[in-house]
Chains A and B, each alone.
Chain A
Amino acid sequence: MSAALGEIWRNRIFYLFALPFAVLTILFGVWPIVLSIEVSFTASATALKPSPTWVGWANYATVLADPLFVASLGRTLVYTVLSVVANVGVALGLAVLFDSTLLKRGNLFFRLAVFLPVVTPDVAGYVVWRWLYDRSFGAFNAALAGLGLPAFTGLSSPDTATLSLLLAELWHHTGFYMIIFLANLAIRDRALEEAAVIDGADAWQRWRWVILPQIRPALIINTVYALIQFLKTFTVVVVMTKGGPNDATNFVSYYAWQLFDQGRYGEATAMATVLFGLVVVLSLGVFVFGDREAAR
């Protein structure tokens, strides 16, 4: 014990360096999570009081028995899968294209064009997209009409609202995954491709058997990042649809926020915990699956 204390005292300057970081991490990282889990076991009406009423797993039972939540969870999972595939797929395609020498000097311009939305404040981007889809103001339908094509119902119909959000989010996010692919492509071993050419491999074989295995790390990281990103889809819903029409875009984050806003703290935090568990399990799953695939 005293040995440990002695070590701490000898290294007190490092504790001093780490102190502000530790304070912020605990206050605004660890404490909120603990608090959230704690609140999820209390009755909403008493959640903010000094001595809340403990209700055990009641909030979790309520939440899991709530058909709206179950529907919302299913919707979130479908949206997440579609978005992960679309974003990572498009990002990979664009990275390969922009990494090739086919575009010569255009490369930087194209990268900037696709990456600019990543640093554009999401609220601003989604506000513009919301109006792009608008029936009377929007450029989208005006362009379709100009081409003689039928109108796109966009955010106003439950059938197309999800797709509309997906496209807007693709615009905002895919550039981020693209630069991770590009960074990975830049450090690959090009000599292997030359060797493959000498061995008579065609373009597809080089891509599939030489390049793709080398960008597996970026593929795994991007998939995990995208999973975390789209499981918690929120801003785009707030800006563009408010969960509608007909709950078609009412994803778990937004639903939880609505409950929180209504003072149903217990249920809202129970949903948060469920979603957190899902994020952890799915992310670990991708990592483990990716590792096993790599080991084969």
Chain B
Amino acid sequence: MRPGERSGPPVEERPGPPRTAGYVALAEAATREPHRLRARSPVHGLARRRLDPLQVLAQSVSGAAPTAAMAATPAIVASLAGSATLWSFAVATVVALLVGSCVGQFTRRMAAAGSLYSLTAKGLGPTAAFTSGCALLVGYGALTMAALSGSANYLGILLARTGVGTGRTAPVFITLLLVLAAAATALLVLGIRLAARVMLLLEAVSITLMLAIFGTLLARHGLPDDLHALGLARPDLGATAAGVLPALAAFIGFEAAAALGVEARRPFRTVPRAVQWTAGASGLLLLLAASAQQLGLDQVPGGLAGQREPVETLATAQRLPWLSVLLEGGIALSFFAAALASATALVRVLFSMGREGIAPRALGAAHPRHRTPHLAIAVALPPLAAVPVALRLAGVDASRALPALLNTSAFGYLVAYLLICLAAPVFLHRIGELTVVPVLVTAVCAPVLMVVLGAFVTTRSGWALVAIGAVPAAGALWFGWLRLRRPRQLAGVGIYDETSAADLLHGPAAPRERG
């Protein structure tokens, strides 16, 4: 500190010995290794603080893809839970809200790009964070593949209706999928604001379509005299529990806004809100969809549980064939938005791992103009498109590939959700801000997730079990290599947008950014 500088705002030169004065110097003195105050954020290069709250919300809503879930999930849940279907959805909504509140304990305090991976690191340390990272790569990766397949499939069906091509053939599917993947790559590279705007538009259209469809169906059918038909009367515990797993799978992806901590404006407010609102709103939409389908299919043999495409059946029963077209359009849009959201989160996990040095450093590069992780995108997107194409070429069509991919991703998500729930109270204790409520939330939420995860694994068979075994094995090899060769980098995982000197009172003006 030089006396002549006392009156003016202190300015820091390029990295080197600190030459700051006043408040920044005091703050610097208050930090210790390994948490020294740095001259710039470790995640520099991303488009910091650009997204408004609605765009952040769009990322989470797109990740959860409520539209596609509204069409498909109620029948799956009904086949397991029967008359307790609505209870299963209600329980799943509560679990999602509890997981969201655990995520919120972190996102209210730190702004990260690596989603639950970076957050878990601050609670449970490197090993758990690494597990969460692998689980998320599987979850986001498989969801992106599933969403691309789903979108291409429904677009193919729409095309077939208009008479262009025969819709369900492999060449049409593969062409559509590659076009969608190329569009997603372009949107992701060209800037997070652009991608977020597209997601917002797609979700707004597809949710409006869905509300219109279910509104029409309910209006046609009329409300029943006997509300027992809604399945609200007898909450059967066993049946409810059986339906919770598929109902919870309808929520996965709702935490996706946690990958936009760096890029959101006022992240400590917008990110936790986006996650919680998405959980709540998805829950309401799913309850609406489930009750509409249950009511409408009451008279149909087999009821809701017997249907593979319940909304189509309903539309036919009500003689409203145009509803099917709207439905297919809505689902195609929603799936594409989901592909964008999960790919956005995936590349930011890879970006964080690249910056930390536990994945190739190049993945941590950011495009100088678009300020997106362009190399991570270039590495991640081709395989995400190649797997569904290969599956189709091997003769696995979308109706079989989609459930397999969605199940794989659900497994990854459940592991990551369980870890973040366990991490939340530990994190709060570590920074000295533990209160009773977060402990209770984890005490309720973690056992439920463990049971669901256990049920998930034990009900798999054949190839699914091989896949579930292969991922941890590959992860363990990678982890072993890191322990041997990169112990320092492994210990330092969990980078986030740390407070740097420029963020402090009277800090040096932030270096100039060209946007």
The answer to whether A and B interact is: no
Chain A residues in the interface with B (C-beta under 8 A): none
Chain B residues in the interface with A (C-beta under 8 A): none
